Structure 1
Amino acid sequence: MNQNIINARITFRNAPIHILERFTIRDLENAYVHFKKHSGLEECVIIQTCNRIELFGKAKNYNIDKIKKTWASLTGLEEEAFEENIEVVENLEAIHHLLKLTSGLDSMVIGEEQILGQIKNSITSARNAKASGQHLNNLFDKAIRIGTRIRNSSGINRGGISVGSMAVKLAEENVDELKLKKILLIGTGEVSTLVAKSLARRGYDFVVTSRTMDRSQAFCETMGGKPVKFEDVLSGFENYDVLFVATTAPYFLVTQERIVKAMKIKKSGMMILDLSNPRTVDEKVATIGAVKLMNLDQIAEMVEKNMKSRLNKVKSVENIISEEVSVLEASMKRLDAEPLVKDVFKNIDSLRVKELQKALQMLNEKDEKKIKIIEELTKAVVESIVSTPMNNIRKASEQGEPDIIEMASKLFDYKKQKELD
């Protein structure tokens, strides 16, 4: 492609939620102005969800350092903050990634529906801000259509469930009147994000704790819930009825001693779901009266059964995407030839009209029916002569042959015409 399609992204795959949140762009309209002015991108679209911040751009030449610098200026971060977390791909890989997004393959929960709506909103916002143009508008419109078709034909969006939503479902099944209970979520990582999304979607109030209050607050701003101090939680488990524990601590956070102490004070039971790997809830907790403990292995087994049908479809969806990528890339390459083709047709038609007027004056023809016939004849002659070379130029563009486009530009005096305009 004469024009590069670029994707720069920070997602849940390379940054935990409390880090990801720092890269969020608050003022999109202002961001579009800055990216087009300072980053070297001629077109851009920003996708932001609780799991990802992504920038798609189009440019003939681009400099990733300028993109990072612009992004950093919009978020108040140092450029160095991007080094460990940002991932950058271009052209075929960028198109492939967008199709994975629209079809649901790159989501935390495979096949989830929400991302497709978020992508539609993103391209609409970019259009309204006049940040996207011919290339990205075409790319996103086609990617959305392809993603929708893949979802409908494969059924990948049906019948799946995440570890987080399964854990919440188990809590609902085992705890009476869960909405009246005090729910605690320990951790702010990937699994905690899934739990928080599921709790928020079902309308449950919950509190969140992590090693630092800043991390808990950042998580709650994005995912919902109320932050509480880590120290207060460890000494006050009696204040909670349901615990979702999803941390990477190398030791037991929820010990037998702490829960025994809590249950002496509590007058009701407690359910604990240990979603950590390795486990951070002491298994001896399960022996305490009125305490129900479930660990990640038990929950994951249920999820695996539920997800099996969806995961079986991933390979077939990948195959469809691989086929569609090459078609989509060809259509994007074809856009490189369109300005030349459009200009040639316009100039030749202008000459046709000019010569037609001369001929009609010489014939002194007044019969409207005959004039119409002559005009249609001139159009047909021009079309039959010009269509074949123009379609060949388009094909050359699709096949990545810029030399032919360059030669055609010289033959049809395309650059010179542009300069005169």
Structure 2
Amino acid sequence: MEMNQNIINARVTFRNSPIHILEKFTIKDIDNAYQQFKKHSELDECVIIQTCNRIELFGKSKTDNTDKIKKTWASIAGLDEETFEENIEFVENHDALHHLLKLTSGLDSMVLGEEQILGQIKNSITSARESKASGQHLNTLFDKAIRMGTRIRNSSGIGKGGISVGSMAVKLAEENIDELKTKEILLIGTGEVSTLVAKSLQRRGYAFKVTSRTIGRSETFCETMGGNPIKFEEILSGFEKYDIIFVATTAPYFLVTQDRITDAMKNKNNGMMILDLSNPRTVDEKVATIKGVKLMNLDQIAEMVEKNMNARLNKVKTVENIIREEISVLEASMKRLDAEPLVTDVFKSIENLREKELQKALQMLDEKDEKKVKIIEELTKAVVESIVSTPMNNIRKASEQGQPDVLELATRLFDYKKQNQAD
């Protein structure tokens, strides 16, 4: 009897497809996609992971059905099948499990070690569970891979230190300012670097104001990136309201001058941190000489980013070695699931027999004393448990070790019927 499951991973990612191609594979209606994949691709279970850098399908199947997956995906995305040949990648079993661990540990991200993918994977398996698209195999796989990925990240430290100018700038603010959530934060600018800063602030739960040359631009930026828009004119004469100022503009002059910050500090009881992320600089360097003001510029921050990136790269081999050790544990857990339907069925059958024979014995004894009945019942349970546990655990171990002959023999010995197997 075949009990081995087939775990499939089909993916289109930034590694082999540019973003404008990747977008074509986007699955807009995830719930409908789950129904289509299970109906037309012969998948017993499936989980879809979708981010701006990847669209991936993990499935459990009894057959090799890559062609059916391609056809179904093409139909869902409105693409011809030829497009898939150039962009899609298929792996299964060991390689699929290995890839999932690389994802959860941060090795396969565009930004090495980034944390966001872990949250996205958690959301994906939660969504699949709610849609009843996943089942025992993929739920087990994802739960274990998420725990392992988290442990790998923590033990290796691959996610430590900001490696974007935006995240590093926010990290520096956190390190230099106590209780940042209680402080007033201002972001000047709405360009690419400002977007990185806003994303980092938003992710960490900090409230912040945003200003640009036009209020309309600030409002549009805040709708997407968070923050509250404020008029440009208000901030030029009101720097004293802020404790942390991120400046990321392309102004051809010093926007934050020594005079303006000197005036602002006259009315402040606490200090101020200014991070100039503009190129060329738009904060006068003389601001650094003002008492109570800490100024950092783009060159200093970029140097720290590069240092952190190099530190992460140095940890890649460590992470890969841990994954190689963990993959065997993950595979054993998945193989063990092959035996569970048989084990569950045997325990259920034996329990039914135990209850039936117990009732016969109690009727023959005509026993009414509840205390004695309880003792007899516990005795029968203990006898069954002591007899059945060892062979059942041995069957599980054989399954973990990839010994299908033992499973096949146990199936015949216990007269296990294939139709009883729960997916």
**TM-score when normalising by structure 2:** 0.69
1:301–1:87 distance in 2 versus 1, CA, 3 Å: farther
Counterpart mapping for 1:58-137 below 5 A: 58-137=60-139
1:9-408, aligned counterparts within 5 Å?
Answer: 9-162=11-164, 183=191, 292=280, 303-408=305-410
Q: C-alpha displacement at 1:81, in angstroms?
A: 0.8
Structure 1 CA distance for aligned equivalents of residues 48 and 196 of structure 2? 22
Q: Is the 8 A contact 1:46 1:54 kept in 2?
A: yes
| Range with bigger deviation, 196-205 or 156-165 | 196-205
| Inter-partner Cα distance in structure 1 for 2:418 and 2:126 | 35
Instruction: Find the counterpart in structure 2 of residue 7 from structure 1.
Output: 9
Work out the CA distance in 1 between the residues paired with 2:36 and 2:328: 32
Cα–Cα, structure 1 residues 350 and 179, in superposed 2: closer, same or farther, change >3 Å? closer
CA contact (8 A) 2:9 2:58 kept: yes
Decide whether the 8 Å contact of 1:396 with 1:405 is kept in 2.
yes
Provide the secondary structure at the position in 2 that maps to 1:54. Answer: strand
CA distance, structure 2, for counterparts of residue 198 and residue 179 of structure 1: 8
Distance of aligned partners of 1:199 and 1:12 in 2 relative to their CA distance in 1, 3 Å threshold: farther
SS of residue paired to 2:314: helix
> Which amino acid in the other structure matches residue 74 of structure 1?
I
Question: How far apart, in 1, do the equivalents of 2:343 and 2:24 lie?
Answer: 45
**Cα-to-partner distance string for 1:370-420 (whole Å, 9 max, x where unaligned):** 22221111111111111111111111111111222122111111117739x
Q: 2:358·2:377 contact (CA, 8 Å) conserved in 1?
A: yes
Kept in 2: contact 1:14–1:85 (CA 8 A): yes
State the secondary structure of the residue aligned to 1:127: helix
The C-alpha deviation readout for 1:240-281, integer Å capped at 9, x for no partner, is x978xxxxxxxxxxxxxxxxxxxxxx9759xxxxxxxxxxxx
Aligned to 1:236: none
Displacement of 1:134: 0.4
Give 1:10 shift: 0.9
Question: 2:188·2:249 contact (CA, 8 Å) conserved in 1?
Answer: no
Distance 1:315 1:336, change over 3 A: same
2:253, 2:313 → 1: CA distance? 40
Residue 390 of structure 1 aligns to which amino acid in structure 2? M
Structure 2 runs not aligned, ≥5 long: 172-185, 202-207, 213-223, 226-247, 255-278, 282-299
CA shift at 1:160, angstroms? 3.8
The 3 A distance-change label for structure 1 pair 197 and 2 is farther
Residues matched between the structures, number: 328
Spell out, residue by residue over 1:48-97, the C-alpha distance to the aligned partner (whole angstroms, 9 max, x if none).
11111111100111311110111111111111111111111111111111
Supply the RMSD in Å over aligned alpha carbons: 3.4
CA 361–77 in structure 1, closer or farther in 2 if over 3 Å, else same = same
Give distance in 2, aligned partners of 1:307 and 1:267. Answer: 31
2:12 maps to amino acid: I
Taking a change above 3 Å as real, the CA distance of residues 121 and 267 of structure 1, as seen in their structure-2 partners, is closer
Do the aligned partners of residues 346 and 38 (structure 1) sit closer, same or farther apart at CA in structure 2, a change above 3 Å counting?
same
TM-score normalised over the length of structure 1: 0.69
Asked if 1 retains the 8 angstrom alpha-carbon contact of 2:97 and 2:331, the reply is: yes
1:12-57 per-position Cα deviation (integer Å, ceiling 9, x unaligned): 1111111111111000011011010001111000001111111110
Preserved contact between residue 104 and residue 110 of structure 1 (Cα < 8 Å): yes
The separation in 1 between residues aligned to 2:409 and 2:100, in whole angstroms, is 33
Tell me the SS of whatever aligns to 1:331: helix
Question: Which is worse superposed, 346-355 or 366-375?
Answer: 366-375
Q: Secondary structure at the match of 1:25?
A: coil
Does the CA contact (< 8 Å) of 2:161 and 2:168 recur in 1? no
Gaps of 5+ in 1: 170-177, 186-193, 207-222, 225-240, 244-265, 270-290
Q: For the structure 1 residues 360 and 30, does the alpha-carbon distance in structure 2 shift closer, same or farther, using more than 3 Å as the test?
A: same
Displacement after TM superposition at 1:156 (Å): 1.7
- The change in CA–CA distance for 1:411 and 1:242 in structure 2 (over 3 A counts) is same
Amino acid paired to 2:406: I
Q: Secondary structure of the residue that 1:8 maps to in structure 2?
A: strand
* CA shift in 2, pair 1:312/1:391, >3 Å: same
In structure 1, the residue matched to 2:292 is: none
Contact 2:165 2:196 in 1 (8 A): no
Check 1:396–1:374 CA distance in 2 against 1; reply closer, same or farther (3 A cut): same
Cα distance change on mapping 1:392 and 1:119 into 2, 3 Å: same
Structure 1 distance, partners of 2:157, 2:123, is 23
* Structure 1 runs (4+) greater than 3 angstroms displaced: 162-169, 178-183, 194-206, 266-269, 298-304, 416-419
1:165–1:361 distance in 2 versus 1, CA, 3 Å: closer
